[in-house]
Structure 1
Amino acid sequence: MFSLKYQISNPESWHQEMAKQIPIETSGNSFLLQNSFGSGGGQFVALQPGLWIEQLDLTLKEQLSVEILPKQHNDYFSVTFWLTNAQVKQQLQERELQFKYDNVSIVLVSSTIHTAYNLPINEEIKTFMIWMSKEWMLENVVSTKNAGLRQVFERDAPIYYTESLDYKFKYLLDKTDFTHSEKLPLLINTLQLLNCFFRNLEQHSCANLASLHLHNSDLKKLMIVREYINANPLKEISLEFMSTMAGMSLSKFKRLFKEVFRTTPYKYCLKIKLEIAMELLQTNKYSVSEVGFLIGYSNLSQFSKAFKNYHGLLPSEVKS
């Protein structure tokens, strides 16, 4: 097994650290794995002073253990979009999280965080990463209107936040490809991704950004429930079934689910269904009533109301 240890900075420094510790070959703003280590690599683009993006697409022949070492100050932040079905396990203090395309898919960390994760062998690993300096983020992303959120990012406490991919992120990521995009479209799409991400972040409690006190066994049980919901998005799943699956009382399950995922089980299930509805409508293969029926609505007006409450427009407006 190979190991890589680094501190969060900018991608150029990251490439330099990788070249010292694992078998890769660097050239300009890209790197390739040596044949004995795997295939594929990564490439970064500097969009603005203090803002970079990077795409990774690689397959390892040897296991790789990665450890992010903490700095004294939060001078850099990174947002990673996991676009792979490979299962990646990350250790954060006593918590263990699992990342893959249909689970926890977006991770924000600050440079004072201490965490580690293992990358599997013989599975394609794809990520899209956004690197930001503290100065760039405070000037361009974190609004002065949200004093609470800004204070969190101005401090040096470790920040760790996870989010799930929804149709908005998937749509923007599909358009953000180094091999088919010029610098200006890349910048526009990156800013839109950050806008979506931080808009979601502003809706959640700032305390959750550094909330690391949940028992690891409880977190694993909640992840099992969420994976079941994600694997059966159109199935009607009762609260009683979910709490039994988690091995918790109903009250404890509802409380911990909301603490971890920042929404109720009912709203989470509804969110998944309404995102599927948007994706189905965008294919232009189904009528509005067919999509409503597919996600469990027998009443078209109720479906339209729920869809507009979540997406901000009527299903018929997507079709047009």
Structure 2
Amino acid sequence: MRSDSEDNIELSKNPAKAIGEKLENGVTPIPSNMGTGYIKGFFINPGLRLIVRQYELKEDWILDRGIGTEEDKFVVIAFHNIYQSKDAIKNLLLPPSSSRKLLPSVQVATSGFNIEYLPANKKINSIVITVSINYLKELLKPKPGDTLLHMITSGNQPFLFEEIISPQIQETGSEIVTANPAKELQELYYKIKAEELIYLLFVELLKRQDTTLQKLNITDVKKIYEIKDKILSDLDTPPALAELVRLSGMSESKLKRLFKQIFGNSIYNYYQIFRMKKAAYLIKEEHLSVSEAGYRLGFSNLSHFTRLFEAHIGVKPKKYSAGNKK
């Protein structure tokens, strides 16, 4: 199978999918010729499936779940790098070719847009929930005026949204990975936890104020993700909109609109979120002073840095720094 990724990797088969199809409430180890680790799957009921993936591959793979008649009736929710947030923020300091693929995020999409890059020699930690449109509609029970919920549960329009993983999602994900429920109650446990993750995801999605949605196609989606990668490749320098427009091949208005539709933030706000996450990492893990962290990230006005840090992290940087010295 030929991948349409920027790396243009050609796949003779889809190993992750092939392994996944064999899963039924059990653990399947990754074949030694492919890497190390395992995939654990739970077929909870006909409308809800959950897969836990912990592995490291020997080669890069592109996982393209494709579009099929049955899959079109399902929504795929993929929680990427859900329980390694510290390492994932550290990845922001690595070369962009390796770091940008490993950030903690949750992606919810119709199957046609669920394309995932699996880098070699990196620990892949994720939880994937596949939920039928009908099951999701029964859970969410959208009311008149719930534009976003109606769109997602209609089954009529392809969509793709991505959110940064919240602390609550991370906590629940960690519980799923480390759980050892009684065998007789496994189905009940994983059903509750899968639905809890769905709930926490929609708590974040419903914070989005702009629910105007433009029809997506796979070409535009790939371009938007290239723009995201470009933004995250250098957090010390604010993104130049003119350059992003040129790279995308879109008009400025279309680029802004689709980026916000997928990621829930404007280009600049998205950049600032990760810029402040990096600042927090530099202060906490690399023990930089507040001024050193601010200057490292390109701030000449430390008062401005302090205001932004507090807005995104919740406390002033000096208090954050003092708290991590205890």
**Are the aligned partners of 2:79 and 2:128 in contact in 1 as well (CA < 8 Å)?**
yes
1:81 aligned to 2:66? no
Aligned mates of 1:255, 1:38 — CA distance in 2: 40
Cα distance 1:305–1:177, how it changes in 2: closer, same or farther (>3 A)?
Answer: same
TM-score (normalised: structure 1): 0.63
Say whether 1:18 aligns with 2:21. Answer: yes
* Native 8 Å contact 1:83 1:100 kept in 2: no
Q: Which residue of 2 aligns with 1:96?
A: none
**Counterparts in 2 of 1:174 and 1:261: CA distance versus 1, 3 Å:** closer
- Of 184, 199, 205, 1:201 maps to 205
Of 51, 56, 74 in structure 2, the residue corresponding to residue 54 of structure 1 is 51
Q: Any unmatched runs of 5+ in structure 1?
A: 7-13, 20-25, 85-98
In structure 1, distance between residues paired with 2:189 and 2:280:
24
Post-superposition Cα deviations, 1:59-100, rounded to whole Å, max 9, x if no partner, equal 3789776434233984x533113349xxxxxxxxxxxxxx96
Alpha-carbon shift at residue 317 of structure 1 (Å): 5.1
- Provide the residue aligned with 1:268 in structure 2: 270
**Superposed CA RMSD:** 4.8
Q: Which of 23, 40, 43 is 1:43 aligned to?
A: 40
Q: Which of 2, 25, 37 lines up with 2:13 in the alignment?
A: 2
1:213–1:137 distance in 2 versus 1, CA, 3 Å: closer
Consecutive unaligned residues in structure 2, runs of 5 or more: 1-11, 83-98, 182-187
| Partners of 1:5 and 1:66 within 8 A in 2 | no
Q: Secondary structure at the match of 2:294?
A: helix
The answer to whether the 8 Å contact 1:78/1:132 transfers is yes
Partner of residue 241, structure 2: 239
Matched, 1:156 2:160: no
Deviation at 1:157, TM superposition (A): 2.0
Q: Are 2:24 and 1:30 aligned?
A: no
Instruction: Give the alignment partner of residue 306 of structure 1, picking from 305, 308, 313.
Output: 308
Q: As a proportion of its length, which structure holds more helix?
A: 2
CA 56–279 in structure 1, closer or farther in 2 if over 3 Å, else same:
same
| TM-score calculated relative to the size of structure 2 | 0.62
Amino acid of the structure 2 residue aligned with 1:310: H
Summarize the Cα distance change of 1:244–1:107 in structure 2 as closer, same or farther, 3 Å threshold.
Answer: same
Where 1:67 maps in the other structure, the secondary structure is coil
* Partner Cα separation in structure 1 for residue 131 and residue 171 of structure 2: 19
Given that residues 167 and 275 in structure 1 are in contact (C-alpha distance below 8 angstroms), is that contact kept between their aligned partners in structure 2? no
Question: Judging changes above 3 Å, is the alpha-carbon distance between structure 1 residues 212 and 182 closer, same or farther for their aligned structure 2 residues?
Answer: same
Alpha-carbon distance in 2 for matches of 1:286, 1:267: 24
Match in the other structure for 2:109: 109
- Once the two structures are aligned, what percentage of the paired residues are identical? 19
Tell me, in whole angstroms, the C-alpha distance in 1 between the residues paired with 2:26 and 2:173. Answer: 22
The alpha carbon displacement at 1:281 in A equals 4.3
Contact 1:4 1:66 in 2 (8 A): no
Letter of the 1:238 counterpart: A
- The 3 A distance-change label for structure 1 pair 288 and 195 is farther
